[in-house]
């Protein structure tokens, strides 16, 4: 089984590109906190590469950006390529779904008060727990 679930903050604004065939792609990193050790010291963060395609990529570019929190559900994919005669190995998270913890307001402002188009507001009293 190859499934990854990560939550973190987007490290820079999302750049949406298209492949030669016209498919939307978004590449970005998120800062994932490692938590604290037994003494309460911060253990730092990891910055995995995230890649999304199609409607997922378009949605990411529209609703999230630098500093905003997201949860990414996807899979690990490794690869390699040649650069200046050296083999470079890559590890990416291919995003199948992205959940917005924070999102951009209409007009591009960051926040989580407005509800993006296509989303439904949930009152805590509606939750079963």
d(CA 27, CA 5): 17
Question: Is the pLDDT reported for residue 129 higher than 50?
Answer: no
SS3 24: strand
Q: What per-residue string of b and e applies to 19-29 under the rule 16 or more CB within 10 Å gives b?
A: eeeeebbbebb
Residues 5-22 pLDDT 10s: 999 999 998 989 999 999
Q: Which residues are within 8 A (CB) of 116 and not within 5 positions of it... i.e. 6 or more apart?
A: 62, 63, 100, 103, 104
Please report which confidence band the pLDDT of residue 104 belongs to, taking 50, 70 and 90 as the band edges: confident
Question: Is the pLDDT reported for residue 113 higher than 50?
Answer: no
Question: Is the pLDDT reported for residue 72 higher than 60?
Answer: yes
Question: Is the pLDDT reported for residue 107 higher than 90?
Answer: no
d(CA 48, CA 84): 24
More confidently predicted of 108 and 46: 46
27-36's contacts with Cβ under 8 Å and 24+ in sequence apart are 27/51, 28/60, 30/6, 30/70, 30/72, 32/6, 32/7, 32/8, 33/8
More confidently predicted of 124 and 85: 85
* Lowest pLDDT segment from 17-21, 30-34, 102-106: 102-106
Mean pLDDT of 46-55: 96
């Amino acid at each position: 089984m190859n499934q990854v679930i990560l939550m973190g903050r987007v490290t820079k604004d999302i750049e949406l590109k298209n492949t030669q065939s016209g498919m939307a792609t978004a590449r970005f990193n998120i800062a994932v906190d490692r938590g604290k050790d037994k003494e309460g010291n911060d253990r730092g963060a990891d910055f995995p590469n995230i890649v999304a395609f199609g409607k997922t990529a378009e949605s990411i570019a529209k609703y999230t950006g630098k500093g905003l929190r997201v949860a990414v559900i996807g899979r690990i994919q490794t690869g390699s390529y040649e650069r200046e005669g050296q083999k470079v190995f890559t590890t990416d998270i291919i995003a199948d779904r992205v959940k917005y913890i924070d999102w951009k307001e209409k007009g591009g402002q960051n926040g989580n008060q407005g509800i993006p188009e296509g989303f439904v507001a949930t009152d805590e009293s509606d939750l079963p727990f």
